[in-house]
Amino acid sequence: MQANREKEVAQHHDGGFSVPETNSFGHTFRNYDAESARQDGVENFYGTNHINQTYDF
């Protein structure tokens, strides 16, 4: 655990702000460039809603 903390502290971006690789639950943060199992479904959902969107609510 100490080694992970030292690794996180060593990662500094923009004026010394420490950016960890994972959150407190052990999950990685959002990587919008990475492919995921849900990517096609999400793109289809947003594309369909965008096409069928009307001006009137």
Predicted pLDDT at 57 = 62
Rounded to a whole number, what is the distance in angstroms from the first to the last CA of the chain? 52
Q: pLDDT of the chain along its 57 residues, tens only?
A: 555 555 555 554 556 777 777 878 877 777 777 777 888 898 999 999 999 988 776
CB 43 within 8 A of CB 36: no
Q: Give the pLDDT score at 18.
A: 76
pTM above 0.75, yes or no: no
Phi, psi of 41, deg, nearest 5: -65, -40
**Which contacts qualify for 34-42: CB closer than 8 Å, 24 or more apart?**
none
Pick the closest to residue 45 from 33, 35, 53 (CA basis): 53
Side-chain half-sphere CA neighbours of 56 within 13 A: 0
pLDDT confidence of residue 29: 73
At 44 the pLDDT is: 94
